[in-house]
Structure 1
Amino acid sequence: MDLLDAAPIKAYGYELGFDLVRITGAEAFPETERVIKDRIAAGLMDGLPWFTSERAEVSCHPDALLPEARSIIALAMCYLSEPPEEPQDDLPRGRISRYAWGEDYHEVIKPKLKQFAEWLREYARREAGHELEARLFVDTGRMVDRAVAQRAGIGWYGKNTTILTRGWGSWVFLAEIVTNLPLPPDEPLQANCGKCERCLHACPTGALPAPYVLDNRRCISYLTIELRGSIPLELRPLMGNLIFGCDICQEVCPVNQVVEKRLGLRPVERTQESAGEALADRAVGLEKQRPRIWLKKRDEFRPRPQIGGAPELIPLLSLSEEEFRARFRHTPIWRAKRRGLLRNVCVALGNLGDQRAVPALIQALNDTEALVRGHAAWALGRIGGEAARQALLARLEQEEDTEVRQEIHYALSMLKDHR
């Protein structure tokens, strides 16, 4: 079959609300497969039990996902939104990754992909008498989305392992439609990060040991979202007040900073232009400029009142399971579950060191979840004070969970060091 015209397909993708639409072939990704297997063997993917070599062998071969695969439609949707107003108080507050301020992106993008597939089905029948076969992916499926995005020209690999796009930086969600339609492929972008390594040096936990290498075990996004157990003791003090995800390596990126300036989310003033910022300006300039009003139209990812960018921490510790469900269902934070979020809140409060958090942390020592009790103990040990010491000793007398008892002993040892 002759190649189908891709222009109407791309136009419809933009009509659906995607900010970038590109196409690549369905050939395998052997280099990506090699890199994934090397990372797994080196232990850099530890903690993600589903990320196996067997999975890589499937995800790097589109024909294993769809035997008739001919083309992949690569899509990107920017999630930048106007930040909520900065609270004018001194209350202990946490930070949430920008992508999680609004609705769960899976619930936003999946219906659009299904609508896209229905349109493609009619387009294929009308233009070529062809019956569409397709598989849809957004983040969670067995598809190497960044490799697809790079080969399709959506963007290039950043040294922090994200995909950097012209026009939207790395502030994008990626999605794919693997299809049996023969479509003309786009070329990869001839762009890279140059000598810039800001992201590597900015990571507080050292999760970026080398360009293009991520140590999953040390990444704050992993620690606050995917990790189901205790956060390693040595990493807790490095996490600051981050309670869900982390944007640090993206925030320092010159490409991303220029995107934010273009959209009015960052001051335009610049004291001295660096080589990285000059590169970013050129990259952004190659993509169609969009007016600031675009931010207001992208309602799905605007900060929700129940989330915000800097939630007050102390009240979160009193959330029941039902309250957590009511507040965070249909948002990305749901993935961490109540126990994970409250664990993170305890760490943030411990790092902030505010004595006003002590009563709530003492109450959290009696939480039904051992994970929360253990991290509350750590936070009390880090904040210090006689009330914290008495509460820890009292809890130790009745605590039966071995790991929590270890946490309490460690917390008490920190209190001794405070003296």
Structure 2
Amino acid sequence: MNMNTQSPYAPPPSKWDNLKAEIKAAAAELGIDDIGFTTADPFLYLKNILQEHRDNGYESGFEEPDLEKRTVPALKNGVPQSIISIAVAYPSKMENPPKSEPGARRGILARASWGRDYHHVLREALAKLEIFIRERVPDAVMESMVDTGVLVDRAVAERSGIGFSGKNCSIISPKWGSWIYLGEMVTSIPFPPDAPVEEGCGDCTKCIDACPTGALVGPGQLNAQACISYLTQTKGFLSDEYMTKIGNRLYGCDTCQIVCPKNRGKSWNHRPELQPDPEVVKPLLLPILELSNREFKEKFGTSSAAWRGKKPIQRNAVIALGNFKEAAAVPKLTEIVLREPRPEMRGAAAWALGRIGGADALAALKRSLQGEEDTEVRELAQAALEKLEKLEQQGEQDKQSKLLQAEGDGQA
């Protein structure tokens, strides 16, 4: 029996079924790895979730503030009939990553910022898709969105059958894992919808257990204010707890995706423009502190990590040097804590000197407190100084104890 034979009781494929099949067949050539279709019905279930998220103070502040816009698809010049969701897969592994060693410590960028800025990659794919559709339906109304659009990318992708919503708040594709960029297009064409993916996380809680700051407050619930990915993109002061937990991350955090069993063995290298330059995505930390704005753009400008500018990345580099307890960084950190105009940099440098320790760090902190006027910087410098003085005092007591013990042994 030919399984492709149309049942006599089923309606014949509409022109929109046929166009959808054409689009799916052409997706790879358009730069799209996965594509799904859903209705333009409102995401009614989502509004209460987003409101509760806001009421709990879990928003990052980067979101569209109007919840109606986030949950009700719209077209400026037409009636929305369906939404097309696209996914582009990116790599999760680096070939021959450079080593981070004493005297040559390195930071790391999250995998979503490796290679070319994904905003450009997705916009180009959606632009090609729009041309493809317009050649066949000249009067179609289409509006594409990438990341900064009003709709919730993950909700659209889930309903379109790209993947299921994981406990780590990522869309997890059965084929691609969660290493995917998402974008969508609202259209006036009534495409038949795809079925959502039925797979799920089951009893697994590895992502929740592994989150460094406990930002995953429940399955599929993220407190963005505590998420390291968000924290690395802020421009102000960070608490001692968050600075410690950032480790050497310069931009973003991949922990909840790295530990996910659904991502095991998945890394994608079929798109050359998304492959990482090891010296960009795992850069030496000390040189970052010397970059001018122009040099920063030259080094990081093609990455999505550059969107917030150099200030957060330089602050994070200072924090990373503190977490490495990198003694070779003390001269530069001393220069920062004494002369840097940005208070958040002086504060991070004071904290880092407190982590590294030693006579030079102690002297730098004492000097900084003599002229520091910013309250938050003073608090960080004072805490770092007290920590080092306590360690120094403890060291002296340990020396005295050893001397007394040696004298006692000699008299025995």
Structure 2 residue 250 is matched with structure 1 residue 243: yes
Q: What SS does structure 2 have at the residue aligned with 1:63?
A: coil
Structure 2 residue 30 is matched with structure 1 residue 21: no
Identity %: 39
Paired residues of 1:81 and 1:301 also in contact (CA < 8 A): no
Q: What SS does structure 2 have at the residue aligned with 1:103?
A: coil
Paired residues of 2:64 and 2:70 also in contact (CA < 8 A): no
In 1, distance between residues paired with 2:188 and 2:64? Answer: 27
Alignment deviations for residues 108-149 of structure 1 (CA, whole Å, 9 cap, x no partner): 221221121122111113xxxxx1111101111111110010
Taking the TM superposition and a 5 Å limit, the aligned residue runs for 1:68-83 are 68-80=79-91, 82-83=93-94
Paired residues of 1:361 and 1:380 also in contact (CA < 8 A): yes
In 2, distance between residues paired with 1:81 and 1:224? Answer: 20
In 2, distance between residues paired with 1:89 and 1:376? Answer: 20
In 2, distance between residues paired with 1:145 and 1:234? Answer: 31
Q: 1:404 aligns with which of 367, 372, 377?
A: 377
Taking the TM superposition and a 5 Å limit, the aligned residue runs for 1:31-110 are 31-45=45-59, 47-48=60-61, 50-52=63-65, 55-63=66-74, 67-80=78-91, 82-88=93-99, 90=101, 91-110=104-123
Structure 2 residue 354 is matched with structure 1 residue 381: yes
Structure 1: tracts of 5 or more residues without a match: 126-130, 264-294
Please, what is the CA RMSD of the aligned residues?
A: 1.9
In 1, distance between residues paired with 2:316 and 2:99? Answer: 23
Alignment deviations for residues 57-96 of structure 1 (CA, whole Å, 9 cap, x no partner): 1121003666510011110000116504132462322121
CA deviation after TM superposition for structure 1 residue 242, in Å: 1.3
Q: What SS does structure 1 have at the residue aligned with 2:266?
A: helix
Paired residues of 2:115 and 2:302 also in contact (CA < 8 A): no
CA deviation after TM superposition for structure 1 residue 232, in Å: 2.1
Alignment deviations for residues 284-340 of structure 1 (CA, whole Å, 9 cap, x no partner): xxxxxxxxxxx1x411111125413x2221221222222212211121121232111
Q: 1:143 aligns with which of 143, 146, 151?
A: 151
In 1, distance between residues paired with 2:305 and 2:187? Answer: 32
Amino acid paired to 1:252:
V
Structure 2 residue 23 is matched with structure 1 residue 12: no
Flag the 1:207–1:142 CA change in 2: closer, same or farther, 3 A: same
| Structure 1 ranges of 4+ moved more than 6 A | none
Flag the 1:104–1:257 CA change in 2: closer, same or farther, 3 A: same
Q: 1:162 aligns with which of 147, 154, 170?
A: 170
In 2, distance between residues paired with 1:401 and 1:246? Answer: 30
Structure 2 residue 242 is matched with structure 1 residue 231: no
Match for residue 267 of structure 1? none
Flag the 1:235–1:81 CA change in 2: closer, same or farther, 3 A: closer
Alignment deviations for residues 221-260 of structure 1 (CA, whole Å, 9 cap, x no partner): 00002x2211222221122211111111100100101424
CA deviation after TM superposition for structure 1 residue 372, in Å: 1.2
Amino acid paired to 2:34:
L
In 2, distance between residues paired with 1:211 and 1:397? Answer: 49
CA deviation after TM superposition for structure 1 residue 49, in Å: 5.8
In 2, distance between residues paired with 1:159 and 1:177? Answer: 26
Flag the 1:255–1:89 CA change in 2: closer, same or farther, 3 A: closer
Taking the TM superposition and a 5 Å limit, the aligned residue runs for 1:272-283 are none
In 2, distance between residues paired with 1:63 and 1:317? Answer: 45
Match for residue 292 of structure 1? none
In 2, distance between residues paired with 1:66 and 1:13? Answer: 26
Structure 2 residue 200 is matched with structure 1 residue 192: yes
Q: 2:334 aligns with which of 362, 378, 394?
A: 362
Paired residues of 1:138 and 1:175 also in contact (CA < 8 A): yes
Match for residue 121 of structure 1? 134
Amino acid paired to 1:397:
Q
Flag the 1:378–1:83 CA change in 2: closer, same or farther, 3 A: same
Paired residues of 1:318 and 1:360 also in contact (CA < 8 A): no
> 74-83 or 376-385: which moved more?
74-83
Amino acid paired to 1:239:
I
Amino acid paired to 1:99:
A
Match for residue 397 of structure 2? none
Amino acid paired to 2:126:
L
Structure 2: tracts of 5 or more residues without a match: 1-13, 393-412
Match for residue 325 of structure 1? 297
Alignment deviations for residues 144-165 of structure 1 (CA, whole Å, 9 cap, x no partner): 1100100010000100111000
In 1, distance between residues paired with 2:299 and 2:374? Answer: 29
In 1, distance between residues paired with 2:225 and 2:179? Answer: 23
Q: 2:222 aligns with which of 214, 219, 236?
A: 214
Paired residues of 2:98 and 2:279 also in contact (CA < 8 A): no
Match for residue 269 of structure 1? none
In 1, distance between residues paired with 2:63 and 2:21? Answer: 37
Flag the 1:211–1:305 CA change in 2: closer, same or farther, 3 A: closer
Structure 2 residue 267 is matched with structure 1 residue 257: no
Amino acid paired to 1:233:
D
Q: What SS does structure 2 have at the residue aligned with 1:307?
A: helix
CA deviation after TM superposition for structure 1 residue 390, in Å: 1.1
